[in-house]
Amino acid sequence: MHITDILVTGEPIIYAAMVSIALVSIAILFLLTYFKKWGWLWREWLTTVDHKKIGIMYILSALAMLFRGGMDAMMMRVQLAFPDLGFLDSQHYNEIFTTHGTIMIIFMAMPFLIGLMNIIVPLQIGARDFAFPYVNALSFWSFFFGAMLFNVSFIIGGSPDAGWTSYTPLSGAAMSEGPGQNFYLMGLQLSGIGTLATGINLMVTILKMRAPGMKLFHMPIFTWSTLVTCFIIVFAFPILTVALALLTIDRIFGAQFFTLTGEGLPMMWANLFWMWGHPEVYIVILPAFGIFSEIIATFAKKRLFGYNAMVWSMIIIALLSFLVWVHHFFTMGAGAFVNSVFSVSTMLIAVPTGVKIFNWLATLYKSKIEFSVAMMWALAFIPSFILGGVTGVMLGMAAADYQFHNSYFLVAHFHYVLIAGTVFACFAGLVYWYPKMFGHKMNERIGKWAFWLFFFGFHVCFFPQYFLGLDGMPRRLFITNIVEWLPLNIISTVGAFGMGLGFAVFVFNIYYSFRNSEREETGDSWNGNGRTLEWATTTPIPYYNFATVPYVDEIDPYVRMKEEGKTTYDESKLEPIHMPSYTGAPFIMMAFLALGSFGLIFEWMIVAIAGLIGGVIMMILRSFDYDEGYHVEVDEIKRIERKARGL
């Protein structure tokens, strides 16, 4: 085998990417060596089981993936605005919309939100860590290696090109040879394991580790959204696991599940995929609702209106999310009756969603709004998301969908919900909880620049696409040189670059704030408006989170604590705190499984088996590991708390 059989060749963009990847990698290796940071990297990060650090690693990776997915998006937009330039050929365009969609949903949106959950949920319920810290590290590394595996397909072996939905028979062995599609299957499979594990982990954490006195209906709304999301994860992800496995077996071992020979059923893929895929949409939107609810309550300085209705509407949305999957293929011949049933179930979701929107508005009504950056993202979300939601209802009408299906109308719709919902929420949540993570705020002035650039860019980019869709422009099309389509496409591309600029400013703000922002003194960063327990710890948060866990018997407990002058520190009640030890095993185990997956992708069975054996050996070692962690002694806690609280 020759190296050029594996490396992707023949395109200047790809050579440029290879060179830049090589340069960045060399630079990172050099810097780590030069500053002697290898030990630090291993001891502090690669082996960590601390939920806060794992959360930060999730968010950093998700930002990197947003960059990658965003680059893909820009390239597509350039192609669509200047179709005569010949910037991308059809094959390359196929690969790029496939990787863009997959990366954005699986490796950007979900990990970003899971990162925020990682950091915030234990703090909100007064817990010291996850129920299973080791498993949490395992989950992160499975996501990380899955994402890396998927990303290298760009330069090694070739990217998948059958869309993020990977419909059979197009994605089957007969029509998509070679490793590209295998990258999709194994990348998603590997990271899916971690997602399922996180779902279970967070569920147990929330059900079993709440502060004494805290009933389920005392929990902060973000924690509620996490719990509901975890239910969806546990019930949806196994479906994806099976679907991916079946297609892998089809492709690599010659089975006939989705083939046209051997009486397989290609439509079964569409069903399995969307039985997972539609709930997946709610996996990335419900936590976003939770984040906005927290932010709106904080900066409206009011208790969230209709707490119970908010919780119940999330539960109902979660249940309904499993009953609507067919709306993704109304046009594929299921018949009028089936289509009608799924059309109605789809529209039902608008009801609980509407309830939520009215509750947010009611919270804002007659309140003294503080227009911080986090709040601006939250406020911008409401009208933008309504635009996405209303067009969703339009798509949900089966009869009308025959017109909209696979047109740019759809592209506009799902970007309206995903960006205004999830991406705004990720940014909002990051800004809002940033002081908790890093001990300083992000600069508000630069933050506003990022916000306005992104916000305007977003509407300029996607609003015209509704009209392109109504004009008949199909999605996944790389030539747009039909005269009527060109102007709107050019406007859309301008908007896309506005968003790109907004993102760049956002990232610059991270650097700028790191250098220049004032360090936080108190834990209650937003002018003392914090309502939930995460604001009751000191900043930076000690690794054990809470010195003494407060008793909670109401919503927004921290409001009362402040009124009564209480804190989460009571020196007379200190006890040694039990903590788990750091370990490199999760990293190593997942590295082995990634190696095995890599082998399977190229159908090098020896490598695949070697990786699998390595992984199994690591599991056996884990089974024999009786490390019970260690205790933080009272003196140590006293020293840390007194220093942090300036006592």
Partner 1 sequence: MSAEELKTGPLEYRTKEGQMSILGFWIFLGAEVVLFATLFATYAVLFGRTADAPHPGELFEAGTVLIMTFLLLTSSFTCGLAIHEMRRGSVKGLTIWMIITLALGLGFLGFEIYEFVHYAHEGATIQSSAFWSSFFVLAGTHGLHVTLGIGWATLLLIQIARRGLTNVTSRKFFIISLYWHFLDVIWIFILTSVYLIGMVI
Query: 329 with 278: CB under 8 angstroms?
Result: no
From the list Cu ion, partner 1, ligand HEM, none, partner contacted by residue 338 (C-beta under 5 to 8 A by kind): none
In this chain, which of 56, 203, 221, 411 binds ligand HEM, going by CB under 6 A?
Answer: 411
In this chain, which of 77, 405, 440, 531 binds ligand HEM, going by CB under 6 A?
Answer: 77
From the list Cu ion, ligand HEM, partner 1, none, partner contacted by residue 411 (C-beta under 5 to 8 A by kind): ligand HEM
Q: What is the DSSP string of 72-121?
A: HHHHHHHHHH-GGG--S-HHHHHHHHHHHHHIIIIIIIHHHHHHHHHHHH
Per DSSP, what are the bridge partners of residue 135?
Answer: none
Residues 289 and 425: their CA atoms lie apart, in Å, by 8
Query: 97 with 477: CB under 8 angstroms?
Result: no
Nearest CA among 266, 401, 262, 295 for reference residue 343: 401
ω before 169 within 30° of 0 (cis)?
A: yes
DSSP-derived 3-state class of residue 474: strand
Residues 198 and 593: their CA atoms lie apart, in Å, by 18
If the CB atoms of residues 127 and 420 are measured against partner 1, the closer one turns out to be 127
CA distances from 252 to 13, 259, 268, 273, 278 (A): 30, 13, 19, 19, 27
Asked if 291 interacts with ligand HEM (CB under 6 A), we say: no
In this chain, which of 59, 123, 173, 239 binds partner 1, going by CB under 8 A?
Answer: 239
Binding piece for ligand HEM, criterion CB under 6 A, among 37-45, 102-110, 174-182, 239-247: 102-110
As given in the structure block, the two tokens for residue 557 are 């407990």
457 CB-contact burial (10 Å; exposed 0-12 / middle 13-18 / buried 19+):
buried
Least distance from ligand HEM to the Cβ atom of residue 460, Å = 11
As given in the structure block, the two tokens for residue 346 are 């789809």
Asked if 109 interacts with ligand HEM (CB under 6 A), we say: yes
If the CB atoms of residues 253 and 337 are measured against partner 1, the closer one turns out to be 253
Residues 423 and 304: their CA atoms lie apart, in Å, by 22
Task: Kindly state the DSSP code that residue 565 receives in the 8-state scheme.
Answer: T
Q: Cα-flanking dihedrals φ and ψ of residue 183, to 5°?
A: -60, -45
Least distance from Cu ion to the Cβ atom of residue 80, Å = 25
| 241-270 residues near partner 1, rule: CB under 8 A | 241-243, 245-246, 249-250, 253-257, 259, 261-265, 268
Query: 415 with 409: CB under 8 angstroms?
Result: no
Least distance from partner 1 to the Cβ atom of residue 173, Å = 11
Asked if 605 interacts with partner 1 (CB under 8 A), we say: no
User: Where do we find the tokens 């947010």?
Assistant: 360
3-state per-residue secondary structure call for 514-527: HHHCCECCCCCCCC
Binding positions for Cu ion, rule: CB under 5 A: 278
Residues 486 and 464: their CA atoms lie apart, in Å, by 11
If the CB atoms of residues 188 and 411 are measured against ligand HEM, the closer one turns out to be 411
| 91-130 residues near partner 1, rule: CB under 8 A | 128-129
From the list partner 1, ligand HEM, Cu ion, none, partner contacted by residue 166 (C-beta under 5 to 8 A by kind): none
Q: How remote is the C-alpha of 601 from its chain's centroid? A: 25
In this chain, which of 100, 128, 356, 441 binds ligand HEM, going by CB under 6 A?
Answer: 100
Asked if 625 interacts with partner 1 (CB under 8 A), we say: no
Residues 408 and 473: their CA atoms lie apart, in Å, by 6
Asked if 73 interacts with ligand HEM (CB under 6 A), we say: yes
Query: 396 with 327: CB under 8 angstroms?
Result: yes
Per DSSP, what are the bridge partners of residue 630?
Answer: 579
If the CB atoms of residues 106 and 131 are measured against partner 1, the closer one turns out to be 131
Ranges of H-type helices in 407-443: 408-417, 424-438
Asked if 226 interacts with partner 1 (CB under 8 A), we say: no
From the list ligand HEM, partner 1, Cu ion, none, partner contacted by residue 418 (C-beta under 5 to 8 A by kind): ligand HEM
User: How many C-beta atoms lie closer than 10 Å to residue 78's C-beta?
Assistant: 16
| 205-224 residues near ligand HEM, rule: CB under 6 A | none
If the CB atoms of residues 105 and 600 are measured against Cu ion, the closer one turns out to be 105
Query: 383 with 459: CB under 8 angstroms?
Result: no
Asked if 105 interacts with ligand HEM (CB under 6 A), we say: yes
Asked if 81 interacts with ligand HEM (CB under 6 A), we say: no
From the list ligand HEM, partner 1, Cu ion, none, partner contacted by residue 237 (C-beta under 5 to 8 A by kind): partner 1
Asked if 541 interacts with partner 1 (CB under 8 A), we say: no
- Per-residue contact flags (x/-) with partner 1 for residues 571 to 600, judged by CB under 8 A: ----x-xxxx--------------------
If the CB atoms of residues 193 and 397 are measured against partner 1, the closer one turns out to be 193
If the CB atoms of residues 105 and 536 are measured against ligand HEM, the closer one turns out to be 105
| 429-488 residues near ligand HEM, rule: CB under 6 A | 461, 475-476
The residue ranges that bind partner 1 (CB under 8 A) are: 128-129, 131-132, 196, 199-201, 203-204, 207-209, 234-239, 241-243, 245-246, 249-250, 253-257, 259, 261-265, 268, 272, 575, 577-580, 620, 623-624, 626
The residue ranges that bind ligand HEM (CB under 6 A) are: 70, 73, 76-77, 97-98, 100-101, 104-105, 109, 163-164, 411, 415, 418-419, 422-423, 461, 475-476, 496, 499
